[in-house]
Each structure stands twice: as C-alpha cells, then as structure tokens.
Structure 1
Amino acid sequence: MPRWYMLLAQCLGCAVIEDTWHYFLHRALHHKRIYKYIHKVHHEFLSPFGMQAEYAHPLETLILGAGFFIGIMVFCNHVILLWAWVTVRLLETIDVHSGYDIPLNPLHLVPFYAGARFHDFHHMNFIGNYASTFTWWDKLFNTDSQYNSYRTKVKTQEAKKTK
C-alpha cells in the first residue's frame, strides 16, 4: 500500500500530465477545420453542468481521454493509485463543469487551479481557456486573454454597483 503522501504526489503528477495533454489536444479540437465534426458536440451546452462534462463525441473521448491514462502508465504501481486518480479526476471534471464557483472550495487551495468560473467562460466564449485543471498553459500561450479582459470588466461593473 503506498503512503498517503506518495499517493498525493502521484495524483498530482497524473494531473500535470493530463492537463498538458488536454491543453494542447483540446486547443487542436477547436481548430476551425475539425471543431464542427468532433468537439462541437461537447459545446452544445452553453451553460455546463456537472455530468455534462462527459458528454462528448466518441473521438473526443478517445483523444482527450488518452491523457488520463498516460499518468497512470508513468506512475501506477498500485491499484489504489488508479482508484485515487479516477476519483480525483472525476471530482475535478464535475467541479469545473458545475456552473458554480463554490465558496471555500478546497480545490481552490491548489495553485493555478482553474475552477468553474474559468471553464464556464470557455463554454460561453469557445475561444481560450483550453486547460482542464490548471491555468499555466493558458497563461503561457496567452489563450486566457479574453477571459482576463472579461473578468476585469465584470469586476469594474461590480465595483460601480457597490458605490
């Protein structure tokens, strides 16, 4: 049985690997030549909800789902890791598709965690915010610029209302 801190570290490693895979392939699925054939199915819902996260074209499920297994192949030395990673990944996926930015969400303690607000913008705008869990790839490639502009505008409007 792996120690709890090793299990946590391996789940984090799986998350980093899956997030990297997801960012680049999700971004590719938004390319104008293939978007309407594959990824558009997932975007039929403009306001995501938890279980809708798994609603996708079968090819998208294979393409993006493969990233889930890469970390398992790299780190897996115990069936407990497999179950822990499945649980963590499903909870995270449902969280970002929940449509709710839950206050005191413990996942917001994870550095660079994207969360529901970040992913909701992706479903509203279709451009940018391609990462599944973390925000660093979007920051690095500036694919979160429209989101950042939108958040600045929203915060400005909220500040005006409170005055």
Structure 2
Amino acid sequence: MKTCFMALHIVYYEYFNIPYDWERMPRWYLLLARCFGCAVIEDTRRYFPHRLFHHERIYKYIHKVHHEFQPPFGMEAEYEHPLETLILGTGFFIGIMLLCDHVILLWAWVTIRLIETIDVHSGYDIPLNPLNLIPFCAGSRHHDFHHMNFIRNYASTFTWWDRIFGTDSQFIAYKEKMKKIEKKTE
C-alpha cells in the first residue's frame, strides 16, 4: 500500500512537473518568501468574495453555514457550504500554480495555511504565537470580531484589505474602547 501511495505521488509531481528531489529543494528563505507570496495571493483572492458572501441577498444561502458556530473553534474553520469551498478555496491553489517550484513548497504552504486557519478560528489570542510576528497578520481577535458581528473584518490572513476599504473601522473602535476599559481597571 505504501509503495502504491508513493507511486501516485510521483505520478502527480511528474504530471505537474513539480520537482521533488533533494538537489533542487529551494533554500529556506526562498521557501518562506514563496509561502508569503502564496499567503498574499490567497488573502487577496479570498477577501473580495468573502465580503460579497456577507451581502444580505447571498449570505443566508452560502456563508451562513460557516457562521453557525459562535464563537468559532479550530475545526469549524473548514465547516462551510460546498460552493464557498470551491469559490474561496481557489485562492489557495493559485499561489501554488504560480510559485511552486518544489514539492516542499506545497507541503509548507498546506501546513502554514492550516495552522493559520485553525489559529484564527481557535478563539484564543496566544501572546507568544509566532504568527503575531508577521506584520498585518489578522489573528484570532480580528477574526473573532468578524464571527461576533457577522460583518466587517473580512480578511483571511492579513488586515491590509480591511484597512484600505475601511471594513475594520468597527474593530478598531472596539479595540480602543477595550484599551480604555483596561486602563480604568488598572
């Protein structure tokens, strides 16, 4: 069985001309740069349809399935309408199609994307989370606000599209309000 599984992988890699040998594996910094590129592509490709899915005429038919759970939890991240999976999921593959030069990128991107997706749906803002070191990374607080209000904060990974289009204004006001309350309780 293991031999058959390995043979299928090799056929897949060769069909799509994806190198899998050790000699052509990219350096770690190139791998990280390509994963970042995949994240930017996925985030951009996801923001606009996700925002559209919240339109009052569409929301109840497609995206409401994803919002059945409030607050969100890690495994709920992948709980969505099949049409939403098809439409929003294409962004994940576009980066791979454009940037994949070795199978290690495919594995790294899948791992990073799953960790990030589960993290933002975890309901926990872990202070020492390495994802918090990434500039403009949305994080769980950003996405929890989205699930709390069902509007605004449409970003998947980064906050720049929300910032550019002002769809994070309520979240920013909420954060400022929480800071004032924390200062009063000190």
| TM-score of the pair, normalised by structure 1 | 0.98
1:34 offset after TM fit, Å?
0.6
SS of residue paired to 1:33: coil
1:127 offset after TM fit, Å?
1.1
Instruction: Report the counterpart of residue 134 of structure 1 in structure 2.
Output: 158
**Alpha-carbon RMSD:** 0.6
| TM-score of the pair, normalised by structure 2 | 0.86
Give the AA of the match of 1:82: L
* Gaps in structure 1 of 5+ consecutive residues: none
Which whole-Å CA distance do the structure 1 matches of 2:114 and 2:93 have between them?
A: 13
Greater RCO, 1 or 2 (C-alpha within 8 Å, sep 6+): 1
Which whole-Å CA distance do the structure 1 matches of 2:53 and 2:135 have between them?
A: 26
1:161 offset after TM fit, Å?
1.2
Q: Spell out, residue by residue over 1:4-62, the C-alpha distance to the aligned partner (whole angstroms, 9 max, x if none).
A: 11110100000000000111110011111110000000000110111110000001111
Deviation beyond 4 Å, 4+ runs, structure 1: none
Give the AA of the match of 1:81: L
1:126 offset after TM fit, Å?
1.0
1:15 matched to 2:7: no
1:116 matched to 2:116: no
Specify the structure having the higher radius of gyration (Cα): 2
Instruction: Report the counterpart of residue 98 of structure 2 in structure 1.
Output: 74
**Mapping for residues 64-103 of structure 1, pairs under 5 Å:** 64-103=88-127
Which whole-Å CA distance do the structure 2 matches of 1:71 and 1:115 have between them?
A: 21
1:79 offset after TM fit, Å?
1.1
* Gaps in structure 2 of 5+ consecutive residues: 1-24
Instruction: Report the counterpart of residue 70 of structure 2 in structure 1.
Output: 46
Aligned residues: 162
Q: Spell out, residue by residue over 1:117-145, the C-alpha distance to the aligned partner (whole angstroms, 9 max, x if none).
A: 00000000111100100000000000000
